[in-house]
């Protein structure tokens, strides 16, 4: 059985929900799903209900997740339209980064005024990065701010050939930028929409085949730094409604999809593993923990099916896809937390990687 070992997998782009959105997902259910997907740690986005935009809300969220998390975790702080830059000094050291929503998506954190975006860029402390939701032309607007303020910036869920072109140039110019790509943009495209219906709706939306090819090319050229799931669970009832929300789950399908791609020769196996672990650790300056790793059987082939998923939402846009690569064991800090079938650690086992809770 060809087992490979991946040290310290981190997904820096997840929406674990909870707080007022426990009907979608809970900190407990989704950190369990993360472990089943092979992860050591996940970073949670601030577009929750309520949004994570002041110190009290951040600390309240931290207490809640601290009691429930199975895996290790970090929280983002959200830049708000109402200008919450006065909060930055108190919270910057204790979060994984600042998140700025520059195009519309789930939640109420959209900032479309360039003056307000600039205010956030000017005020943030460069010791932590800024993670941005920016699509198409908005990417170049944000790049202007990076050029001016030199704040390390991670571009989330990059999905088009045009965006890749802008970021390739920005990297060549030496700007402090990093690039994340999601499995749904790598393995699905607009041709899949008729079959997927609302289950194929997410922001950024599924693109053309030519965009997908540009993403794979950028992976091979090393322009893409990491693979992030953008795990964004919504209930089946919400997706079946007349106004389906944007977002798809991904914590349990990201690793097997990437391993499958490696075995098809679409990228080197080591690169696939690094983009899920080492590169994330490097960008977020996380010191890897000893005895914290994932064992994967790269020969085990299986179908992605909703019956086998741990995430509370209970569906996947990848249902019916065959993948090769099954998580056999997950270890965190010397504890076996997953045996290939069951998550073995209790809620509250997961630790905060950034010192929010004492």
Give exposure, 20-36, as e/b (b: 16+ Cβ within 10 Å): ebeebbbbbbbbbbbbb
**Which is nearer to Zn ion, 27 or 331 (by Cβ)?**
27
Q: Does position 15 bind ligand NCD by CB under 6 A?
A: yes
Q: Which of 46, 180, 247, 350 binds ligand NCD (CB under 6 A)?
A: 247
**Which is nearer to ligand NCD, 142 or 337 (by Cβ)?**
142
3-state helix, strand, coil in the chain (%, to 5): 35, 20, 45
**Which is nearer to ligand NCD, 84 or 106 (by Cβ)?**
106
**Which is nearer to ligand NCD, 246 or 315 (by Cβ)?**
246
- Identify the sign of the CA torsion 113, 114, 117, 119: negative
The conformation of residue 21, written as its DSSP 8-state character, comes to: B
Q: Does position 234 bind Zn ion by CB under 5 A?
A: no
207 binds, among ligand NCD, Zn ion, none (CB under 5 to 8 A by kind): none
Q: Does position 312 bind Zn ion by CB under 5 A?
A: no
**Which is nearer to ligand NCD, 129 or 259 (by Cβ)?**
129
Q: Which of 120, 133, 234, 312 binds Zn ion (CB under 5 A)?
A: 133
Which residues inside 198-217 make contact with ligand NCD, applying CB under 6 A?
202-203
Q: Does position 106 bind ligand NCD by CB under 6 A?
A: yes
216 binds, among Zn ion, ligand NCD, none (CB under 5 to 8 A by kind): none
Q: Does position 47 bind ligand NCD by CB under 6 A?
A: yes
Q: Does position 185 bind ligand NCD by CB under 6 A?
A: no
Integer angstrom CA distances of residue 47 from 50, 120, 239, 332: 8, 17, 18, 28
Q: Does position 133 bind ligand NCD by CB under 6 A?
A: yes
Q: Does position 329 bind Zn ion by CB under 5 A?
A: no
Integer angstrom CA distances of residue 17 from 28, 137, 176: 10, 29, 30
CB of 134 to ligand NCD, least distance (A): 11
Report whether 183 contacts 258 (CB < 8 A).
Answer: yes
Q: Does position 230 bind Zn ion by CB under 5 A?
A: yes
CB of 275 to ligand NCD, least distance (A): 19
Which of 115, 44, 124 minimizes the C-alpha distance to 84?
Answer: 124
**Which is nearer to ligand NCD, 133 or 271 (by Cβ)?**
133
Alpha helices in the chain (DSSP H): 27-36, 55-68, 88-91, 114-123, 137-149, 161-172, 183-187, 193-196, 209-220, 236-240, 254-263, 269-274, 278-283
CB of 319 to Zn ion, least distance (A): 21
Given the structure tokens 């289950």, which residue do they identify? Answer: 199
Name the burial class of residue 66, with classes exposed (0-12), middle (13-18) and buried (19+) by CB atoms within 10 angstroms of its CB: middle
Report whether 296 contacts 328 (CB < 8 A).
Answer: yes
The 80-119 site mask, x for binding Zn ion (CB under 5 A), equals: -------------------------x--------------
Which of 87, 133, 88 minimizes the C-alpha distance to 107?
Answer: 133
Which of 19, 23, 68 minimizes the C-alpha distance to 45?
Answer: 19
Q: Which residues contact 36 (CB under 8 A, 6 or more apart)?
A: 251, 252, 310, 327, 338, 343
CB of 45 to Zn ion, least distance (A): 5
**Which is nearer to Zn ion, 11 or 230 (by Cβ)?**
230
Task: Report how many residues bind ligand NCD under the rule CB under 6 A.
Answer: 11
Catalog residues that contact Zn ion under the rule CB under 5 A. Answer: 105, 133, 230
- Binding residues (CB under 6 A) for ligand NCD: these are 15, 47, 105-106, 133, 202-203, 230, 232, 246-247
């Amino acid at each position: 059985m060809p087992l490979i070992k991946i040290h310290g997998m981190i997904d820096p782009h997840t929406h674990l929900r909870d707080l007022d959105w426990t009907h979608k997902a809970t900190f407990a259910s989704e950190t369990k799903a993360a472990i089943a997907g092979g992860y050591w740690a996940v970073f949670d986005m601030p577009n929750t209900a309520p949004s994570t935009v002041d110190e009290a809300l951040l600390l309240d969220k931290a207490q809640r997740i601290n009691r429930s998390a199975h895996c290790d975790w970090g929280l983002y702080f959200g830049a708000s339209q109402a200008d919450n830059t006065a909060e930055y000094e108190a919270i910057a050291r204790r979060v994984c980064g600042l998140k700025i929503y520059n195009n519309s998506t789930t939640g109420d954190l959209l900032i479309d005024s360039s003056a307000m975006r600039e205010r956030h860029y000017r005020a943030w402390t460069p010791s932590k990065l800024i993670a941005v939701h920016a699509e198409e032309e908005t990417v170049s607007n944000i790049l202007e701010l990076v050029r001016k303020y030199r704040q390390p910036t991670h571009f989330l869920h990059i999905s088009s050939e045009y965006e890749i072109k802008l970021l390739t140039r920005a990297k060549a110019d030496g700007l402090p930028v990093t690039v994340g790509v999601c499995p749904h943009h790598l393995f699905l495209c607009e041709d899949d929409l008729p079959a997927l219906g609302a289950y194929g709706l997410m922001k950024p939306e599924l693109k053309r085949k030519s965009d997908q090819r540009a993403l794979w090319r950028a992976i091979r050229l090393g322009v893409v730094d990491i693979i992030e799931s953008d795990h964004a669970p919504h209930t089946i009832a919400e997706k079946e409604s007349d106004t389906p929300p944007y977002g798809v789950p991904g914590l349990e399908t990201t690793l097997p999809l990437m391993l499958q791609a490696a075995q098809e020769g679409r990228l080197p196996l080591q690169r696939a593993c690094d983009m899920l672990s080492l590169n994330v650790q490097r960008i977020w300056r996380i010191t890897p923990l000893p005895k914290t790793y994932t064992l994967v059987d790269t020969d085990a082939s299986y179908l992605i099916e909703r019956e086998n998923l741990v995430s509370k939402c209970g569906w996947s846009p990848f249902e019916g896809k065959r993948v090769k690569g099954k998580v056999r064991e997950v270890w965190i800090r010397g504890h076996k937390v997953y045996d290939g079938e069951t998550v073995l650690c209790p809620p509250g086992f997961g630790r905060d990687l950034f010192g929010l809770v004492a």
